Amino acid sequence: MTTTKPQPPLLSGSYPLIGHLIEMAKDQPALLRRGQQEKGAPYMIKMGKTPCVVLQGPEHAKVFFQQTDKALRMDKAYQFLKAIFGNTSFLQSPESYHNQRPVQIAPFKRDKMLSYIPIIQEEVQRWLDGLGEEGEIQLVDEMRYLTQVVAAHAMMGKEFRNAMSQEFWDLFMDISNALDPYLPSNWPFPKFIRRDRAKKRMIEILEPIIKERQAHPEKYDDFLQELLMTKTKDGEQLTVHQAIDWVIGFMFAGHETTYGHGSWLMILLLQNPWYIEHIEKEMDELMPYGTQISIEHIVGLKHIQWAIDETERMKPVAPGLFRGVEEPLELDGYSIPAGSWVMLDTLGAHYSEKVYTEPEKFDPLRFGPERDEGKGRFKLTGFGGGIHTCTGKNFAHYEMKIIASLMLQQFTWELRTKDPHTVMGKGAAGPSQTTLAYKRKTLTKRTAPQATPAATGCPHMAAAQNA
């Protein structure tokens, strides 16, 4: 006799028709903490009428990512993004996604990644040179601007970056403000009307650029050209409108998540000056003021990398990841039915005492070789996991390393906002507005030591270059 397995237990507080949507929209982390305390994992919440099973921890994450494109589907859970990004990346069917995957990864291959490092340094240094000897900045606003110009320069080229007007980023804001997983994206709400107008105008801006590059490919060798010239597995190149959707998606992802992560990185460091001492000592030895940053420096900045990992753990820009259930799935003695959703509770897993020592404490050294608490797959999932790990993860890490290192190297910073908190946007989570005071340091340029052949040839560096 076949025994039907039960579904995971439903969390209390579900209302007819809307389920837990109000609580979810108001304070998602609080809802998930309550679920963990009441039910453990897995448990079920209701997204309107749709049941959503919440998973947590490395073992659940393993199932979540390994079943993606099998029993689980990304495109089913993120339909609301199609009005902005079209049928690109994970918004396609698994078959189309894998067909276009060569296009997605081409701009992030080794040679291209190396070419972005001087661009990032140029933009960060230009921004730092524009600051006075002392003053104040609104960190989130400045980080948003900085990641925008880096994305524009690295992805679209220097000419586009120099010609870019405020209109372009105003259009991006209209698009960003329309992200909403709860309302039908085709309803005539004002923010959706502004979104559609912004998308139309952005196409008008980008279309002649794409067509000119397609007509004269020999004139360009950058991120955008790699995107345009790379063929899918079926041997096709992107059409003009496909390319525009990819460009909008890449540029959106290139700053929307990075500015939040980078802002929290600086906040957490300034709240923990003991760790800044480790970073400054490492920079003084490896990358003194005036150094042209190279891949050797990027790989060598271990303490900043551990701080980036710790920021991802404590302040993930995606506190939860979703999938639609295409086929019934069994997990931990429960049955998860087709047509439901699953959600990976990233934030809750990152604070698990089973994985991390004193998880409420900012301690980047937990990722160092002596402890290596983050060792093993699916412990950190702020950038996704498996084949759907964020393609631009290394680009974001390079960018945050260069921003943080040059900020700390050239200025003394003071956190004037004493208690920044997380703001849950419709797209990504980030810190509330935060004021920093700064004072320029007196520095003398000197040359960084040359990397030794052994360091250049080490397997870890080779892995980073090939990422």
DSSP string, 84-152: HH-S-GGGS-HHHHHHHHHHHHGGGSHHHHHHHHHHHHHHHHHHHHTS-SEEEEEHHHHHHHHHHHHHH
CA distances from 48 to 12, 21, 45, 56 (A): 14, 6, 9, 22
Give domain status of residue 70, yes or no: no
| CA atoms within 13 Å, Cβ hemisphere of 432 | 7
Q: DSSP 3-state helix, strand, coil percentages of the chain (rounded to 5)?
A: 55, 10, 35
- Torsions phi, psi of 71, nearest 5? -75, -25
User: Which pLDDT tens digit goes with each residue over 25-61?
Assistant: 888 889 999 999 999 889 999 999 999 999 998 899 9
Mean residue pLDDT across the chain:
88
**Contact call for residues 416 and 437 (beta carbons, < 8 A):** yes
User: Which pLDDT tens digit goes with each residue over 58-79?
Assistant: 899 999 999 999 999 998 888 8
Which of 408, 403, 193 lies closest to 281 in space, CA to CA? Answer: 408
- The strand pairing partners of 448, in sequence order, are none
- The strand pairing partners of 52, in sequence order, are 45, 341
Euclidean distance between CA atoms 283 and 278, whole angstroms: 9
Which of 63, 7, 80 lies closest to 333 in space, CA to CA? Answer: 7
Measured over the CA atoms of residue 210, residue 214, residue 216 and residue 218, the dihedral's sign is: positive
Give domain status of residue 239, yes or no: yes
| pLDDT above 90: residue 400 | yes
- The strand pairing partners of 329, in sequence order, are 336
CATH value at residue 214 = 1.10.630.10
What is the average pLDDT across 241-261? Answer: 85
| pLDDT above 50: residue 455 | no
Tell me the pTM: 0.90
Euclidean distance between CA atoms 358 and 314, whole angstroms: 12
More confident residue, 169 or 398: 398
Confidence of residue 308 (pLDDT cuts 50, 70, 90): very high
> What pLDDT does residue 449 have?
55
DSSP annotation of 10 reads B
| pLDDT above 80: residue 452 | no
Tokens representing residue 425 in the block: 């946007």
Could you give the angle at which helices 273-286 and 302-314 cross, rounded to 10 degrees?
A: 150
Tell me the residue range of the domain where 460 lies.
94-314+386-466
Category of 235 on φ-ψ map: left (φ > 0), alpha (ψ -120 to 50) or beta: left
> What pLDDT does residue 26 have?
86
DSSP annotation of 457 reads T
What is the average pLDDT across 335-360? Answer: 93
Euclidean distance between CA atoms 7 and 212, whole angstroms: 55
Which of 19, 2, 3, 6 lies closest to 334 in space, CA to CA? Answer: 6
Give domain status of residue 363, yes or no: no
Share of the chain above pLDDT 90, in %: 60
Amino acid at 155: M
Tokens representing residue 314 in the block: 């404590």
> What pLDDT does residue 3 have?
57
Euclidean distance between CA atoms 429 and 317, whole angstroms: 5
Give domain status of residue 59, yes or no: no
DSSP annotation of 319 reads S
Give domain status of residue 1, yes or no: no
> What pLDDT does residue 189 have?
93
Give domain status of residue 299, yes or no: yes
Tokens representing residue 386 in the block: 């498996």
- The strand pairing partners of 424, in sequence order, are 429
Largest CA distance in the chain: 80
DSSP annotation of 51 reads E
User: Which pLDDT tens digit goes with each residue over 97-156?
Assistant: 889 899 989 888 888 899 999 999 999 999 999 999 999 999 999 999 999 899 889 988
- The strand pairing partners of 452, in sequence order, are none
**Contact call for residues 281 and 350 (beta carbons, < 8 A):** no
Which of 436, 400, 127 lies closest to 265 in space, CA to CA? Answer: 400
Q: Indicate the number of domains in the chain.
A: 1
Euclidean distance between CA atoms 327 and 315, whole angstroms: 32
- Torsions phi, psi of 289, nearest 5? -55, 135
Give domain status of residue 28, yes or no: no
Give domain status of residue 435, yes or no: yes
DSSP annotation of 320 reads E
